[in-house]
């Protein structure tokens, strides 16, 4: 029976060699974990179409995508949550009022409602090519979660408007994830924990942004990266000093 799992965010965490790219040292570390019967799990805001190459490279078969909306355990689909249309419409109405752009994401692709300067900066920084502008995407395709392309100064407006309705968590300087309250990385981990069936399972979580807060609250050990948000560092049991925080944390806890 599995006794330990390690849960890794991708961007800014496991991907230590550029966008969706891992160093050879990290690949070796993942292989070592598996040899020691420690289950490596990805928990990311990314969708399946974005990470197929990475999953093959790391030979991973258990992962939590779209911040908990889409869950695969041992190559078996456990959950594929669809965002209710009425809630999407509420977010779009407010975004239109403030001239903000909204992103729609599912496991096959994405679209955005528009491309203002802030959104364009985010797209360019994340090396996204051929970004489809399709405001009616959500009426024709299932949506797992939303993005809002906003700075910190506007975030409080949305937090207040959707308090006790939606979860709004920043994952980049120009963008936040928007999800229903019943969805989170932590809830995804809990589902995997139940499937493993070990009540004494030890959980090590690795992350860098506020969309990792929920899994740090659940995990026995939370390892934050050097560049992590202040909120995440406050919940961490270990804060990395180097730019290779995953390797540092794995060595610190004698997992490799």
Query: Encoding tokens for residue 147?
Result: 């993005």
Separation CA 158–CA 237 (nearest Å): 31
What pLDDT shows up at residue 125?
A: 85
Per residue in 101-147, pLDDT (tens digit) is: 999 999 999 999 999 999 999 998 877 778 999 999 999 999 999 99
What pLDDT shows up at residue 16?
A: 84
What pLDDT shows up at residue 171?
A: 85
Domains annotated on the chain, with CATH: 4-80+183-252 (3.40.50.1000), 85-180 (3.30.1240.10)
The phi-psi region of residue 254 (left if phi > 0; otherwise alpha if psi is between -120 and 50; otherwise beta) is left
Residue closest to 112 by CA, chosen among 82, 84, 150: 150
What pLDDT shows up at residue 220?
A: 98
Separation CA 185–CA 167 (nearest Å): 12
Is the distance from CB of 110 to CB of 35 less than 8 angstroms?
Answer: no
Please classify residue 95 by burial: count the beta carbons closer than 10 Å to its beta carbon, then call 0-12 exposed, 13-18 middle and 19+ buried: buried
What pLDDT shows up at residue 128?
A: 76
How many of the other CB atoms lie within 10 Å of CB of 73?
20
Task: Please give the average per-residue pLDDT across 2-20, as a whole number.
Answer: 92
Q: Is the pLDDT of residue 182 over 80?
A: yes
- pLDDT, mean over the chain: 95
What pLDDT shows up at residue 221?
A: 99
E-assigned strand segments in the chain: 4-8, 38-43, 63-65, 70-73, 76-80, 101-105, 110-112, 145-149, 166-172, 175-180, 202-207, 221-224, 238-239
pTM metric for this prediction: 0.91
What pLDDT shows up at residue 189?
A: 98
Q: How many CA atoms lie within 13 A of 177 on its CB side?
A: 28
Task: Please give the average per-residue pLDDT across 54-82, as a whole number.
Answer: 97
Q: Express as a percent the part of the chain with pLDDT over 70.
A: 100
Per residue in 17-55, pLDDT (tens digit) is: 778 899 999 999 999 999 999 999 999 999 999 999 999
């Amino acid at each position: 029976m599995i006794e330990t799992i390690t849960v890794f965010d991708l961007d800014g965490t496991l991907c230590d060699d550029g966008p969706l790219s891992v160093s050879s040292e990290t690949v070796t570390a993942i292989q070592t974990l598996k040899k020691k019967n420690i289950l490596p799990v990805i928990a990311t805001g990314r969708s399946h179409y974005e990470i197929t190459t990475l999953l093959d490279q790391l030979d991973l078969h258990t992962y939590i995508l779209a911040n908990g909306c889409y869950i695969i355990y041992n190559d078996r689909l456990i959950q594929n949550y669809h965002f209710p249309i009425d809630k999407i419409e509420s977010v779009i109405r407010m975004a239109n009022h403030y001239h903000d752009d909204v992103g729609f994401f599912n496991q096959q692709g994405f679209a955005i409602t528009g491309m203002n300067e802030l959104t364009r900066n985010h797209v360019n920084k994340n090396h996204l090519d051929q970004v489809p502008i399709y405001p009616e995407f959500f009426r024709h395709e299932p949506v797992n979660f939303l993005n809002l392309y906003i700075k910190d100064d506007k975030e409080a407006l949305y937090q207040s408007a959707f308090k006790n309705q939606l979860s709004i968590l920043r994952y980049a300087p120009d963008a936040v994830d928007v999800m229903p309250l019943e969805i989170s990385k932590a809830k995804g981990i809990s589902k995997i924990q139940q499937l493993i069936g070990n009540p004494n399972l030890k959980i090590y979580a690795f992350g860098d942004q506020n969309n990792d807060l929920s899994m740090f609250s659940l995990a026995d050990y939370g390892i934050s990266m050097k560049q992590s948000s202040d909120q995440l560092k406050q919940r961490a049991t270990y804060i990395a000093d180097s730019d290779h925080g995953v390797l540092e944390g794995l060595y610190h806890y004698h997992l490799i």
